């Protein structure tokens, strides 16, 4: 497998032509799938991880259903597990900080859009200087996960279609075209936003995502994307 695969356009690209960069979180900006780590700490890892893998590969077409199934398995898990995962297991992928810093320095706005959870996206967004964030909020009762999510003003579950809608909403707010946005992800639920962006980047991604992206980074860090942008 080639380290960097370019398809669908001829470089070089001009960084100045872009106004927005949208990022998935789990397995893209960070090295873990947070829901799998929560399940692993709680002793329910194998079953949850299997559903996550199938969903990210596109073998389960309904992301909302797959998320609800995984959350149901976490009912009753102490909220303290979230803190443990954040402090002990969450690590940024190589080049994440460098790429985001370079894009911000070039004047781009950054969007973090995740099928993961606000407990983690809040931290990642603060660390990387995100301008927009959309993700799911875990419901807690008596210090434990209920197995459900909190309804937010925009809806309950950030799935692939919501990622796409959020990218388009941010473009409208910035007064730019979707062709002036780049989208970076690794799983099947990133494909809708990648399909409307001017540049789609698959990072250490599932086969279905690698095949459809304009750029696939298969080895090394996220900062390698900067080599394509002048």
Instruction: Cite the active site residues.
Output: 24, 26
Peptide bond into 13 cis (omega under 30): no
User: Residue 54: how many CA atoms within 13 Å on its side-chain side?
Assistant: 17
Asked if residues 20 and 103 have their Cβ atoms less than 8 Å apart, the reply is no
Rounded CA gap, 4 and 116, in Å?
Answer: 27
User: Residue 72: how many CA atoms within 13 Å on its side-chain side?
Assistant: 8
The structure tokens 């898990």 sit at: 77
Report the SS3 class of residue 50. helix
Angle between helices 45-56 and 34-41 (to 10 degrees): 170
């Amino acid at each position: 497998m080639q380290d960097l695969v370019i398809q669908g356009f001829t470089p070089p690209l001009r960084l100045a032509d872009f106004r927005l960069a949208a990022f998935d979180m789990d397995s893209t900006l960070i090295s873990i799938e947070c829901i799998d780590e929560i399940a692993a700490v709680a002793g329910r890892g194998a079953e949850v991880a299997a559903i996550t893998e199938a969903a990210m590969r596109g073998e389960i077409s309904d992301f909302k259903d797959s998320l609800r199934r995984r959350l149901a398995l976490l009912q009753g898990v102490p909220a303290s597990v979230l803190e443990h995962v954040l402090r002990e297991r969450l690590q940024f992928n190589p080049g994440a900080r460098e790429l985001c810093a370079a894009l911000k320095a070039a004047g781009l706005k950054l969007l973090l859009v995740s099928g993961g959870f606000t407990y983690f996206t809040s931290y990642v967004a603060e660390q990387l200087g995100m301008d927009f964030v959309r993700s799911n909020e875990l419901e807690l009762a008596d210090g434990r996960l209920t197995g459900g999510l909190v309804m937010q003003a925009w809806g309950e579950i950030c799935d692939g279609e919501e990622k796409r809608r959020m990218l388009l909403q941010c473009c409208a707010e910035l007064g730019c075209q979707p062709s002036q946005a780049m989208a970076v992800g690794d799983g099947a639920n990133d494909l809708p936003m990648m399909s409307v962006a001017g540049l789609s980047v698959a990072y250490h991604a599932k086969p279905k995502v690698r095949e459809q992206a304009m750029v696939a980074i298969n080895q090394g860090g996220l900062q390698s994307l900067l080599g394509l942008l002048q």
